[in-house]
Structures are given as structure tokens and as C-alpha cells.
Amino acid sequence: MSVTGIFGVTASALVGLGLFGLITQATVLRKILAFNLLVAGGFLVFGVVAAVPQALVITGLVVAFA
């Protein structure tokens, strides 16, 4: 399996877990953590494509941690 395939599978898993957590969890903190997983999966999808989206992903990660 190529690196792009591994990133794709990992991104899909993170997005799936994030959506599952947003739908099933009742507490606000767990919903925030699930949303963080969802966003991380989205960042992985955009990070594989090219250099410009990678720069946007890095900027998004910095904003997400702030």
C-alpha cells in the first residue's frame, strides 16, 4: 500500500470516528473531541494533494491548537 493510500484510509477512519462521536455522544467535551478528530481527518485529506494545501493545513493546525 502506498503512502497516499495509508493517508486516505487514516483520514477516512478519523472522519468516520469523528462523525460517530458527534452523533452518539451526549456531553459537550466529548463532542468537541469528536469534532477535533473530524477536522484532523479533513486536514489529512488536504495534506496529501500538493504543497499549497499542505501550507494551509499547517496554518489550520496552528489555529486549531490556539
Round to whole Å and give the CA distance between 30 and 8. Answer: 24
The domain ranges of the chain are: 3-65
∠35-64-49 over CA atoms, to 5°?
Answer: 85
Mean predicted confidence (pLDDT) in 10-31: 92
The pLDDT mean for the chain works out to 83
Q: What global pTM score does this model have?
A: 0.72
For residue 63, pLDDT beyond 90: no
- Amino acid found at 5: G
